[in-house]
Amino acid sequence: MTEKIKIGMAGFGNVGSGTYSVLQRNAKEISRRAGRDIEVSRIVVRKPERISSLVDESVKVTTDWKDLVQDPEIQVVVEVMGGIEPARSLVLGAIEQGKHVVTANKALLAEHGNEIFALAQEKGVNVAFEAAVAGSIPIIKALREGLAANRVEWVAGIINGTCNFILSTMRDTGRGFNDVLAEAQKLGYAEADPTFDIEGIDTAHKTMILSSIAFGIPVDMSRIHIEGISKLEAKDIRFAEELGYRIKLLGITKMTENGVEVRVHPTLIPNRRLIANVEGAMNAIVVKTDAANSQLFYGKGAGAEPTGSAVIADLVDIARTIDAKSSQRPLMPTLSTLGNKPWSDFGDTRSSYYFRIPVDDKPGVLADIAKVIAENNISIESLIQKEPAYPETSTEIIMMTHQAKESDVQRAIRTMQQLQSVLGPIVLLRKEELR
């Protein structure tokens, strides 16, 4: 066997400790697959005393991330500390020193990926990040290698376990968002400050990375439309169910004639689709391509060992080709000729829509609404008007549309919102066939 490779880890939280323990437990099999031993030689953490009993005594445990950059023994830096700084400085510093990097940091890549990949290209090193999207699921590898023959048409994923747990539970129990969020927090599925998850920001970071890989374009968080799940009401989940749909928070990226779309929002999905049946904290991603057609990848999106599994897969890939020329390493970042293709404007997005419109139970109301809809080039696919609790009080119209243009829909909503018979805010959700 060739010489072992030495790695340094930044961070030893959930993902770091999961990576370490799987590396120890399955060392023999991992070495066989990597063609050499992988040895953790240094770990950088804020409080070394907390972890010294958890790792082998041969591992140097220190506190300054610069130790990783400067240690000449270390060939690969595993960044599992999270956050933007000092993660960004560490990653750039390591690349600058000719070290390969494995990172699970989706925020870092979604915000600063271009800078990081440009430097990696210049220095001829790998930056691998399977763990940054959908935890254990080898989706980055599938997009870059498994589907290398294909043109990607779109990617749509349930890639935030917290949101999927909340939405699954709301549907199963009929309970409201805040109630279920509190339960998710108690069970450890949601953080004390859940904003990042429930407002869709985490999903947006991952979707941006998927978009970049699927279409070979630079990341640009300013181009992504983001809606979370915190305003979703139990009754919309119920109405969607009546109509044959489940609501999931999807990250979607699509190649259209206007450019690449990237968006995150609660989405109605026909309940016969496999992805509509992904429950609890699980993740799943559907990829639609020209040759392979439709594929789905399903697994754990978070957790110490599942995420560690993805980190180690990257380490094995790097170890296997670490002596090869950089062009022979499959993980080299490559931007396609699409690199300068413009993003599509969100207003140009085409989707189908679900409206819930609170209205007066009076004659002519539906005619007024239907007129606004038609004037904005939207056509109605189906409609439910709920019986009011008492005659001539308020009621609700649930409407599903055919494909329409987002800017037309926004204009229609603004106009309807002015109608005297519309009694409150109109709820707008989007539907995807995912076919």
User: Which residue, 86 or 138, has its beta carbon nearer to its own copies?
Assistant: 138
Neighbours of 288 (CB within 10 A): 18
CB of 18 to its own copies, least distance (A): 8
Continuous segment of H or E residues that includes residue 284:
strand 282-289
User: Which residue, 96 or 290, has its beta carbon nearer to its own copies?
Assistant: 290
Which amino acid is it at 225?
Answer: H
CB of 235 to its own copies, least distance (A): 25
* Residues acting as catalytic residues: 206
Q: How far apart are CA 227 and CA 40, in angstroms?
A: 40
Strands (E), 14-158: 38-44, 60-62, 76-79, 100-103, 127-128, 152-158
| CB-based contact 264:250 (threshold 8 Å) | yes
Residues whose CB is less than 8 angstroms from the CB of residue 314 and which lie 6 or more positions away in sequence, other chains included: 102, 128, 129, 130, 131, 331
| CB-based contact 45:69 (threshold 8 Å) | no
User: Which residue, 100 or 263, has its beta carbon nearer to its own copies?
Assistant: 100
User: Which residue, 88 or 273, has its beta carbon nearer to its own copies?
Assistant: 273
User: Which residue, 145 or 433, has its beta carbon nearer to its own copies?
Assistant: 145
303 torsion bin: left (phi>0), alpha (psi -120 to 50), beta (else): left
Q: Give the DSSP letter of residue 424.
A: S
Q: How far apart are CA 434 and CA 293, in angstroms?
A: 11
From the list 89, 77, 78, 6, the residue with the least C-alpha distance to 40 is 6
Chain centre distance of CA 32: 32
CB of 144 to its own copies, least distance (A): 7
CB of 133 to its own copies, least distance (A): 13
CB of 367 to its own copies, least distance (A): 41
CB of 278 to its own copies, least distance (A): 7
Dihedral angle computed from the Cα positions of residues 328, 127, 104 and 301, in that order, rounded to the nearest 10 degrees: -30
CB of 80 to its own copies, least distance (A): 14
User: Which residue, 224 or 311, has its beta carbon nearer to its own copies?
Assistant: 311
Which residues is 247 bridged to in the sheet? 268
User: Which residue, 2 or 195, has its beta carbon nearer to its own copies?
Assistant: 2
Length of the chain: 435
The residue ranges that bind its own copies (CB under 8 A) are 2, 18, 22-23, 25-26, 28-30, 32-35, 130, 136-138, 141-142, 144-151, 216, 274, 277-278, 284, 289-300, 303, 305-306, 308-313, 316-317, 320-321, 323-325, 327-328, 330, 334, 336-337
Query: Could you give the 3-state DSSP secondary structure of residue 9?
Result: strand
From the list 235, 224, 236, 172, the residue with the least C-alpha distance to 200 is 224
